[in-house]
């Protein structure tokens, strides 16, 4: 790759987490790519999935499951595996051809990258070193109880063959074995490679966000003026299932073949939208949500990590309010 001297560039990697407004952020910056480029910010075309706004193709080669397709990480339609170095060379070319002084790439799969692969990512970016003045890694974090509830809802909706049981408790036990659930360890791994001062942590709580909006909050971090339509508004292109939908989708996923269950799931969601889905007396009370006792138990598991994260990465005493 040529290393011709050009303007200094700031690279921002939005690494997640899932269920923290990532879809809204990605859709917004993809939709208003030209407007933000006028402000010097590039949201690249390189690495985007066909028809989708996230840079999945840039993050996936570095993940531990890059060579496989797992229940939680099926390869999406249109994805073509590629060499990470080649993909980032294509990204470099797009950046150089633009007028940008800062670049945002966004994929929630980045938070799943193991430490060895984070180092490989750093080495790939280092080939731009004469042109990149800083690399910032942005994480939005959600309190674990809320993150797990939302994640269960999403996972039931998109996973053809769930490997956990049908309850939120079963899903939680499954997730406790996943690396990404340990926020502190993930952040420290990234900090060990890119430096603690280059890790930006934002609590996903409305009162902590600029104008209560993840889009406006991200714009503030990127030092750009939000597009008019984003002021205080986060679109919800990835809505959660209702309690009735969640329950009946779970039954369909576990009792029918994937092909048939996919059609049944679509029918369930359409029927619920029309108001015809029965639920009273069928759906267990509180299905898909934690009890107060469970919520406090999860808090007790993680509050010490929250304090460490707040002190290390925010210079504050607390990361989240106690449930």
- The neighbour count for residue 209, using CB atoms within 10 Å, is 21
Distance CA(201)–CA(187), nearest Å, equals 9
Cis peptide before 17 (omega within 30 of 0): yes
CA Rg value for the chain? 20
Distance CA(36)–CA(163), nearest Å, equals 41
Over 80: is that where the pLDDT of 80 sits?
no
Distance CA(151)–CA(316), nearest Å, equals 27
For 97, counting Cβ atoms within 10 Å of its Cβ (0-12 exposed, 13-18 middle, 19+ buried), the class is exposed
Per the document, the length of the chain is: 323
Distance CA(41)–CA(174), nearest Å, equals 39
Task: Please give the residue that has the higher pLDDT: either 63 or 135.
Answer: 135
Instruction: Kindly report, residue by residue over 223-281, the tens digit of the pLDDT.
Output: 999 987 655 456 556 778 888 889 999 999 999 999 998 898 888 877 665 555 666 66
Over 50: is that where the pLDDT of 292 sits?
yes
- The neighbour count for residue 323, using CB atoms within 10 Å, is 13
Over 80: is that where the pLDDT of 104 sits?
yes
Instruction: Kindly report, residue by residue over 147-206, the tens digit of the pLDDT.
Output: 999 999 999 999 999 999 999 999 999 999 999 999 999 999 999 999 999 999 999 999
Domain 9-142+179-236+304-314, what architecture?
Answer: 3-Layer(aba) Sandwich (3.40)
The mean predicted confidence, pLDDT, of the chain is 88
For the chain, what percent of residues have pLDDT higher than 70?
Answer: 85
Distance CA(231)–CA(212), nearest Å, equals 9
Over 60: is that where the pLDDT of 323 sits?
yes
pTM assigned to the model: 0.90
Residue 118's pLDDT band (boundaries 50, 70, 90)?
A: very high
CB 290 within 8 A of CB 168: yes
Q: Which residue has the tokens 């280092």?
A: 126
Mean pLDDT is lowest, of 78-82, 128-132, 204-208, for 78-82
The alpha carbon torsion through 262, 264, 270, 276 (nearest 10 deg) reads -160
């Amino acid at each position: 790759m040529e290393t011709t001297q050009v303007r200094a560039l700031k690279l921002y990697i939005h690494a997640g987490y899932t269920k923290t407004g990532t879809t809204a952020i990605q859709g917004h910056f993809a939709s208003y790519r030209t407007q933000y480029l006028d402000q010097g910010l590039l949201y690249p075309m390189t690495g985007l999935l066909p028809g989708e706004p996230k840079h999945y193709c840039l993050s996936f080669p570095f993940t531990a499951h890059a060579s496989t397709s797992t229940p939680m990480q099926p390869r999406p339609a249109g994805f073509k595996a590629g060499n990470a170095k080649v993909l980032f060379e294509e990204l470099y070319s797009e950046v150089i051809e633009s007028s940008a002084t800062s670049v945002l790439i966004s994929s929630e799969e980045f938070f799943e990258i193991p430490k060895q692969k984070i180092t490989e990512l750093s080495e790939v970016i280092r080939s731009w070193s004469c042109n990149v003045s800083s690399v910032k890694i942005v994480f939005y974090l959600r309190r674990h109880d809320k993150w797990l509830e939302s994640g269960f809802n999403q996972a039931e909706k998109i996973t053809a063959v769930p490997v956990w049981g049908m309850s939120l408790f079963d899903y939680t036990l499954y997730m406790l074995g996943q690396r990404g659930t340990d926020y502190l360890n993930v952040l420290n791994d990234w900090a060990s490679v890119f430096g603690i001062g280059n890790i930006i942590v934002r609590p996903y709580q409305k009162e902590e966000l600029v104008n209560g909006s993840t889009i406006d909050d991200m714009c503030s971090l990127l030092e750009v003026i939000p597009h008019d339509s984003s002021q205080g508004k986060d679109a919800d292109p990835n809505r959660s299932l209702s309690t009735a939908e969640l329950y009946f989708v779970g039954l369909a996923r576990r009792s029918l073949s994937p092909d048939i269950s996919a059609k049944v799931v679509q029918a369930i969601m359409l029927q619920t939208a029309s108001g015809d889905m029965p639920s009273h007396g069928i759906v267990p009370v509180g299905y898909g949500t934690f009890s107060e006792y469970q919520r406090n138990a999860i808090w007790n598991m993680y509050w010490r990590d929250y304090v460490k994260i707040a002190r290390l990465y925010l210079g504050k005493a607390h990361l989240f309010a106690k449930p």
